[in-house]
A and B are shown apart, each in its own frame.
Chain A
Amino acid sequence: MSRIRIAHKNFEVAKDANNILQFDNVFSDRFSAYEIIGHNISAGENPGTIFSMSLIGADGNVITTSSYYSVQTYGYDNVTTSTTSVQTGTYFRYFSRVGEEGSSNFQAVIHTPYESDKYTSFFNTCTQEISGWYYSFVKSGIYQNAERVTGFRLYSDNLSYEIEAGNVSVFGIGG
């Protein structure tokens, strides 16, 4: 079997500060890598919202250890490119990005989250339209603490703005 869809959420988030999309217990010893695909994702109030990721630990709680490192590179307007230095923090600040109404899509791989003796790493390619420009981002990073990760949480890192709607699926790879 090549890849199995483990979880899927077609979501719409109410207009409050609780704009969290959480996948519990999606990682297991069945796979060492997972593909996460998001499409048609909208952020109505702020089209440039950062789409961040926190990891969920074996106890079901969000991991807030300051061992998350993530970076991003992006291009837009055909000619403009930019890079951002590593962000160290208590979550992956640069996991993805959300653009205007339904224009945001991403394809990410997250590696060895469930292996309690290994780090958890990811890379992600995402696209979206922001303020009339079409953007392409490449993001990557690592959670450099060897512990078991069972799920993840996606959210805007600015809770004044919301991730409104979209689709996110999780697939196991290579098992």
Chain B
Amino acid sequence: MSNAMVEVWSYEVTSSVASIDTGTILGATYDTYYFVGTNISLQNTVSVRLIPKVSGSAKSGTFGNCANYYQLAGSGAWGTNSNGSYSTRDFITHIGFNVLSETSNSASNAFIEATIMNSQSGTHNTYSIGNSIGCVDTTTYYSRHHLVATEDNTADVYDGFVIQPDSGNINKGKFKIYGLINS
């Protein structure tokens, strides 16, 4: 039995970048891809988007039907971002909402994972289910566990991604994408 997950792309941020373009690394070999980012530090206190690429270019406009919830290590209650303004977005998943910047707190960082399904179908939509955890502050909410489920409401076939903060740079982080063997 070979490994069920095959690495198709890897990138480590060692000096600050505004965005990361994976190139055209997705293909029909796999129906499902697993994206993971570890030890991510940001210049600003923002979210980071995973924007799909089609025919070599990043998608634009609002195509992502996004349902997202978070759990704060503070109130404990579930919350949603901005009263549903995240219902339609331009990303397939994101690192949840205002991870405390490395500038504000050098020990702050974030983790993200997402399973992306059906991105190679030209007849069915793409779906993503993801988790992230990051530092929020040191006095009230401490950490935020974010769960994001997204539908791309088109049948576009993806060939890559752009990883991009809402503003500022990614100072640090290791990103990988794996293909899950079909059978």
Contacts and interface: CB of A to CB of B under 8 A. Distances in A.
Nearest to B4: A2
B68 interface: no
Interface string B4-24: 111100000000000000000
B72 interface: yes
B73 interface: yes
Contacts of B76: 71-73, 83-86
A141 B7 contact: no
Main secondary structure of the interface of A (DSSP, over half): strand
Nearest to B144: A140
A69 B73 contact: yes
A63 interface: no
B3 interface: yes
Contacts of B145: 123, 138, 140
Contacts of B176: 174
B4 to A, nearest CB: 8
Interface stretch (A51-59, A95-103, A112-120, A154-162): A112-120
A85 B75 contact: yes
A112 B109 contact: yes
Contacts of B111: 32-33, 109, 111-112, 121
Given A1-B7, A117-B107, A85 B74 contact: yes
B71 A140 contact: yes
A50 to B, nearest CB: 15
A84 B77 CA distance: 7
Contact of B6 (A2, A117, A118, A141): A2
Interface size class of A (residues with CB under 8 A): 20 to 34
B77 A141 contact: no
Interface size class of B (residues with CB under 8 A): 35 or more
Contacts of A85: 74-76
Contact of A32 (B38, B74, B75, B131): B38
Contact of B77 (A73, A109, A123): A73
Contacts of A70: 73
Contact of A142 (B3, B78, B142): B142
A161 B135 CA distance: 33
Contacts of B143: 69, 121, 140-142
Contact of A69 (B38, B134, B142, B174): B142
Contacts of A141: 73, 142-143
B152 interface: no
Contacts of A32: 38-39, 111, 174
B72 A142 contact: no
Given A2-B3, A71-B71, A86-B73, A117 B106 contact: yes
Interface of B: 3-7, 34, 36-39, 71-78, 106-109, 111, 113, 131, 133-135, 138, 142-143, 145, 147, 174, 176, 178
Given A32-B174, A112-B111, 12 more contacts: A2-B6, A71-B72, A71-B73, A83-B75, A85-B74, A85-B76, A109-B131, A111-B109, A118-B108, A141-B73, A142-B133, A174-B36
7 contacts: A2-B34, A3-B5, A32-B111, A73-B78, A85-B74, A122-B133, A142-B142
